[in-house]
């Protein structure tokens, strides 16, 4: 395990970004989309952009080191603001750090129960809209959901609109249409989410939690789990037999 | 510089807490208050509580290592959730890490100009109310304020109420009363703030930014800067000659 300096601003302040990428059969899935999101995040945080080929080399090196080059694995790339002195202001000449790691990944697909949590998404915070090292709200939202017996959190925005799960985007099907909360609800722009907007006719919406009541299906997406059906929301069963689910899961599994 | 593991959850997720303590003349100022706040933070995050005497020993060791035992210095204690596997959930048997560092500290006292920033405080987020490693909003708020030519950020809550600065609590004087935003506005419970509530008759309030217009004085507090007068808010001058300012600064400087 490589280390980072204990004054690295990623450690001291959450000042940095990360990407989690699915590696499958020797390929980094949606690699271009992940690099584009990382670039957007760097712009929002005012960080320099790492070279995409350095990121790719580090990702494959991490897979090799873990003996996962051709398996199914999660690659995490971390791009921190690097060592810094005391206080909030970055040093005049920052030296960002790139860290990569890989871990084996089981097949996804198991359905999950959601519980609405008290921690909400803050649409004014870059940390809600980008994949930053300040991920504590997500950690605590998941923890809160698990404490109530659920598998994953349903997070609302501070305005009370539907937002996302602790580590996934949210979708639902209603009257033969596919919906997902708009980014302005404090939502991370997931790469699978983007694919479903582009290729499956999903529609972005600002909606209250009541929109899930009576939905034909509810599901989560992220790079690593793919599509994960939701079987219950706050103890109320949701049908996991909707015919679109298998079709959309196949679309997600085919992403390259 | 000691290092931390690159899979430390403080680095990867902002999962942890910190304290910044003023060391002056061989003494850790408001030490008991800092340890109480750290305990509260651990409770909110579900982390074990570090032993106070281990923290104290590490703080003094950091001062010694920096040659600052008897000077004026900033001690930072970091208590991270420790190494963790992939994903949001902590390992079953977490091994939190304690890191300490010390840096010289110039005398405070210079007045500052504030600029209201777009990033707001989220009252539902433990990261807004505790001193956590997910401090990125504060970093970016400060950055936004500096980009507009100010020294420090004025942050509102997502509800639009006055909250705090990026790295300090906010106070103002109006009609011979001393006010500070209530914690429910997404405010960190500062140790100097607590002293002014206890010893200077300060009153907690939920107030819109208009409350600062025509205030007799506006100032910031934190452990390291003490009391810092505000000379302007969004380009509008604020009087820094109010007679209470020197009196309150003396009270803050005498904290032990």
Q: What is the pLDDT of residue A115?
A: 98
d(CA A188, CA A112): 20
Are A14 and B124 in contact (CB < 8 Å)? no
Are A78 and B15 in contact (CB < 8 Å)? no
Q: What is the pTM of this model?
A: 0.97
Q: What is the pLDDT of residue B109?
A: 65
Q: What is the DSSP string of chain A?
A: --EEETTBHHHHH--EEEEEEEEETTEETTHHHHHHHHHHHHHHHTPPPPPHHHHHHHHHHHHHHTT-TTSEEEEEEEEE--B--SSSSPPSS---EEEEEEEE-------EEEEE-S--B-TT-HHHHS-BS--HHHHHHHHHHHHTT-SEEEEEBTTS-EEE-SSSEEEEEETTEEEEE-GGGT----HHHHHHHHHS--EEE---GGGGTT-SEEEEEETTTEEEEEEEETTEE--S--HHHHHHHHHHHT--
Q: What is the pLDDT of residue B1?
A: 52
138-177 in chain B: CB under 8 A from chain A: 138-140, 142-143, 146, 158-159, 166-167
Q: What is the pLDDT of residue A214?
A: 87
Q: Which chain B residues are within 8 Å of A167, Cβ to Cβ?
A: 87-88
pLDDT band at A79 (very low <50, low <70, confident <90, very high): very high
State pLDDT tens for residues A174-203: 999 999 999 999 999 999 999 999 999 999
Mutate to test the interface with B, among A14, A100, A112 (most CBs of B within 10 A): A14
Are B1 and A2 in contact (CB < 8 Å)? no
Choose the closest CB to B14 out of A8, A88, A135: A135
Positions of chain B with pLDDT lower than 50, given as ranges: none
Q: Which chain A residues are within 8 Å of B12, Cβ to Cβ?
A: 18, 76, 78, 133, 135
- Provide the shortest C-alpha distance from residue A229 to chain B (in Å): 19
Choose the closest CB to A99 out of B6, B103, B125: B6
Interacting residues of B221 by C-beta distance below 8 A, sequence separation 6+ = B168, B169, B171, B190, B192, B193, B196, B227, B228, B252
Q: What is the pLDDT of residue B106?
A: 81
44-73 in chain A: CB under 8 A from chain B: 45-46
pLDDT band at A5 (very low <50, low <70, confident <90, very high): very high
Choose the closest CB to A45 out of B126, B140, B159: B140
Host H or E run for residue B97: strand B97-104
Give the phi and the psi of residue A89 in degrees, each rounded to 5.
-70, 135
- Tell me if A92 sits within 8 A of A232, measured CB to CB: no
71-90 in chain B: CB under 8 A from chain A: 74, 76, 78, 80, 83, 85-90
Q: Does position A109 have pLDDT exceeding 70, yes or no?
A: no
Q: Does position A1 have pLDDT exceeding 80, yes or no?
A: no
- Tell me if B87 sits within 8 A of B9, measured CB to CB: no
DSSP-based three-state secondary structure for B156: strand
State pLDDT tens for residues A86-102: 899 999 999 999 999 99
Q: What is the pLDDT of residue B179?
A: 98
Q: What is the pLDDT of residue A197?
A: 98
Are A137 and B134 in contact (CB < 8 Å)? yes
Q: What is the pLDDT of residue B85?
A: 79
213-252 in chain A: CB under 8 A from chain B: none
| Chain A residue nearest residue B12, CA to CA | A133
Give me the interface pTM, i.e. the ipTM. Answer: 0.96
Are A80 and B11 in contact (CB < 8 Å)? yes
């Amino acid at each position: 395990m490589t280390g980072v300096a204990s004054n690295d601003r990623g450690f001291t302040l959450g000042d940095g970004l990360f990407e989690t990428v699915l590696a499958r059969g020797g390929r980094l899935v949606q690699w271009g989309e992940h690099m584009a999101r990382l670039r957007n995040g760097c712009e929002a945080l005012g960080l320099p952009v790492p070279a995409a080929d350095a990121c790719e080399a580090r990702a494959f090196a991490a897979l090799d080191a873990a003996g996962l080059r051709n398996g199914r694995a999660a690659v995490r790339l971390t791009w921190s603001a690097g060592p810094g002195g005391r206080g909030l202001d970055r040093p005049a000449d920052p030296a960002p750090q790139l860290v990569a790691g890989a871990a084996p990944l089981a097949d996804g697909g198991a359905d999950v129960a959601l519980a609405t949590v008290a921690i909400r998404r803050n649409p004014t915070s870059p940390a809600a809209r980008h994949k930053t090292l300040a991920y504590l709200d997500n950690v605590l939202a998941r923890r809160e959901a698990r404490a109530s017996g659920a598998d994953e959190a349903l997070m609302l925005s501070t305005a009370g609109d539907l937002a996302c799960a602790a580590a996934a985007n949210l979708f639902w099907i209603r009257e033969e249409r596919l919906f997902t909360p708009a980014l302005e609800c404090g939502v991370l722009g997931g790469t699978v989410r983007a694919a479903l907007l582009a290729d499956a006719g999903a529609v972005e919406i600002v909606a209250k939690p009541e929109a899930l009541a009576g939905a034909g299906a509810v599901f989560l997406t992220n790079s690593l789990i793919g599509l994960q059906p939701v079987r219950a929301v706050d103890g109320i069963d949701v049908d996991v037999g909707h015919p679109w689910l298998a079709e959309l899961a196949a679309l997600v599994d085919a992403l390259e």
